[in-house]
Amino acid sequence: MKIIRAKDYQDLSRKAANIISAQVIMKPDCVLGLATGSSPIGTYQQLVDWYNKGDVDFSGVKSVNLDEYRGLPKSDPQSYDYFMHEHFFDHVNIKPENINLPNGEAPDPDAECARYDKVIESLGGVDLQLLGCGRNGHIGFNEPGDCFAKGTHCVDLAESTIEANKRFFDSIDDVPRQAFSMGIQTIMRARKILIIISGKDKAEAVAKGFFGPITPQVPASILQLHPDVVAVVDEEALSLCDKV
């Protein structure tokens, strides 16, 4: 794992956007695995900016998102589908038919998980997977547990995740209790992984995930086994790691 120290969130966002645009320039028809949450917003803004300047072209790119809340329609401003359009898709030239997310409204969760895994497989897997990280070390919505989930699955969100994500909703009762998430095996099969982590409240997740034992109790720790991971982490998030 290569850890790149960023000064702050803005620096982290530029560095991450540089790595993603390099991927798109090197392979214009690549498959990007994309993430939501507050961490990648600055990265998407930077990519939109470079797109507007003519520096990067998304016309051949295909995307698969990591996760989606179960039960929210795409039109709900809290859905990840809505988020992706608001922060990225609507501002660049990615083709609508090349955009893929789990369908939060699918009536049969098992069928939806199987469909999503097939979509990823039919695209030939992910070239570059962008990840954020939850305070408890979750990636996508792979919560701490007794084993690493393989493919796309329907997850019961951890109380701490519901608590952390309530800031986006009117009240904690509005936060969905379940989500669809790409599994750890699918994430680990991505040819390259870029994880971005910012802020003091993530310092423990960074220390345990990158320097602690590999355990499903800290899902991000599995990334230590991937051959090509770049972690762009700001100084606050690195504050409990004296080795970097």
**Catalytic residue list:** 67, 136, 138, 143
**By Cβ distance, which residue is nearest to ligand GLP?**
132
**Is there binding between residue 39 and ligand GLP (CB under 6 A)?**
yes
Nearest approach in angstroms of CB 143 to ligand GLP is 9
CA atoms within 13 A on the CB side of 210: 27
CA distances from 233 to 11, 122, 196, 199, 237 (A): 10, 32, 6, 9, 6
Nearest approach in angstroms of CB 185 to ligand GLP is 17
Among 38, 52, 59, 93, binds ligand GLP (CB under 6 A): 38
**Is there binding between residue 104 and ligand GLP (CB under 6 A)?**
no
Nearest approach in angstroms of CB 55 to ligand GLP is 25
Binding region for ligand GLP (CB under 6 A) out of 18-26, 107-115, 132-140, 211-219: 132-140
Q: Which residues pair with 179 in a beta bridge?
A: 69, 155
* Residue ranges in 53-92 assigned as alpha helix (H): 80-87
Beta strand 178-181 with 153-156 is antiparallel
Residue among 27 and 185 whose Cβ is closer to ligand GLP: 185
Residue among 24 and 40 whose Cβ is closer to ligand GLP: 40
**Is there binding between residue 36 and ligand GLP (CB under 6 A)?**
yes
E strands, 26-118, where?
31-34, 62-65, 67-69, 99-100
Q: Give the max Cα distance, the chain.
A: 48
Binding region for ligand GLP (CB under 6 A) out of 14-22, 53-61, 127-135, 205-213: 127-135
Residue among 23 and 39 whose Cβ is closer to ligand GLP: 39
Site size toward ligand GLP, by CB under 6 A:
14
Nearest approach in angstroms of CB 165 to ligand GLP is 6
Burial class for 13, CB neighbours closer than 10 Å (0-12, 13-18, 19+): buried
Nearest approach in angstroms of CB 181 to ligand GLP is 7
Question: Which residue type is seen at 87?
Answer: H
Question: Which residue type is seen at 51?
Answer: Y
CA distances from 126 to 51, 54, 94, 223 (A): 22, 25, 16, 15
Nearest approach in angstroms of CB 141 to ligand GLP is 5
**Is there binding between residue 134 and ligand GLP (CB under 6 A)?**
yes
Distance CA 220, CA 19 (A): 20
**Is there binding between residue 133 and ligand GLP (CB under 6 A)?**
yes
**What is the DSSP secondary structure assignment for residue 127, as one 8-state letter?**
S
**Is there binding between residue 219 and ligand GLP (CB under 6 A)?**
no
Q: Which residues bind ligand GLP (CB under 6 A)?
A: 35-39, 66-67, 132-134, 140-141, 161, 165
